[in-house]
Amino acid sequence: MRIPLSAPDITEAEIDAVAAVLRTPQLSLGPKLAKFESVFARFVGVPHAVGVSSGTAGLHLALLALGVGAGDEVIVPSFTFIAAANAIRYVGATPVFVDVDAVTLNMTPEGVERAISTRTRAIMVVHTFGVPADIVELCAIARHHQLLVIEDACEALGAEVHGQRVGSFGDAGVFAFYPNKQITTGEGGVVVAGDAAVMARIRALSNQGRTLSDGWFQHTLLGYNYRLSEIACTLGIGQVARLPEILARREHIARTYTRLLAGRPELTVPPVDLPNKVISWFVYVVRLGAAFRAADRDAIVQRLHDAGIGVGRYFAPIHLQPAYAGFNHTPLPVTEAEAARTIALPFFNRLSKPQMVEVVDTLIAAMEGQMTGR
């Protein structure tokens, strides 16, 4: 693609730092892991952080460490990346899908309240596309029903609610650093929590079940190899140091797109300002108007691809995936309607204004061409 959907932003200084680590004898479980965890915890505003191999691994470990398991239900949106529901199934629990708000595309407190049953053990709150969910209200519901809250903040590093960063509200928060995220470590993730005992269990589980008192060949718990390498941590340290400028740049790009798309009633653009919330821009997703069908959306996406512009369809509802056939769920009309009309536009730190203009012009021409060609 001439204009890709996403692209990592890695500086020469970060490349040099990674190269320096490659010249050392310690490429795993070394000082870079400890430093990365420290700077990350400080940024999010929590006392503890554990680096792991991916956001998916982080969600799995958070559920395990908090004791969610067979027979339990976990409330989760269907409009999200499938890893959220998969992690619930990894521990033997059952995902219970709820619908989302048509503006923020996040689960609503009302929908969660309706989905609570005698088997509900936890709520997995996803901050979709970096837009903060109603986490204060959701935590209040959880406290009232004595439920756990796991924040899937994999798309929302730096987002805030009432001045507090997401990921720090629940019993555990999980972040991810795939190359399309705000910052990247190639692959990787972090779990944060306020409870030291929970974090100690997560650390042990991520390192083959070894507790701090265990020797290398002693394993107190049934664990996993979910470690994050020194190479990844070194890159992460450099990326976290640049986070304020990265987040500001991404917000500028989002607001530029919104200005370029102003006056287009056939398109719904994402909210850029929400009361008492700060959005952390992961992607910029527009939604086609009601006159467009899912087939129209797919044809428009193909036209942009043919023009060398990378766009995506975020998200395919989890409850409609073959891997989730047979799972019961209440009707999810907003999820199904909105998912059929989404188009994620190219969005990355170094995206230029001329590129954004080309994306918007090509998108509008593709939409007009699709309607004319019916």
Catalytic residues: 181
| Rounded CA separation 235/230 (Å) | 9
| Rounded CA separation 170/136 (Å) | 9
Helix (H, G, I), strand (E, B) or coil at 98: strand
Helices (H), the chain: 12-22, 31-44, 55-65, 83-90, 109-115, 135-145, 196-206, 230-241, 243-260, 294-306, 333-339, 353-372
Phi-psi region of 34 (alpha: psi -120 to 50; beta: other; left: phi over 0): alpha
243: its two tokens: 């986070």
179: its two tokens: 């190359």
Strands 148-152 and 120-126, sheet pairing = parallel
Place of tokens 């006056």: 263
Residue 129 DSSP symbol: G
List phi, psi (to 5°) of 343: -140, 120
**Prior bond to 315 cis, omega within 30?**
yes
Alpha-carbon separation of residue 348 from 7, 89, 218, 259, 332 (angstroms):
6, 32, 44, 17, 31
Q: Nearest-CA neighbor of 82 among 172, 152, 9, 2?
A: 152
| Rounded CA separation 360/353 (Å) | 11
Phi-psi region of 326 (alpha: psi -120 to 50; beta: other; left: phi over 0): left
- Using an 8 Å Cβ cutoff, are 88 and 207 in contact? no
Kindly write down the DSSP assignment for every residue of 263-279, as one continuous string: T-TTEEPPPS-BTTEE-
| Rounded CA separation 166/173 (Å) | 8
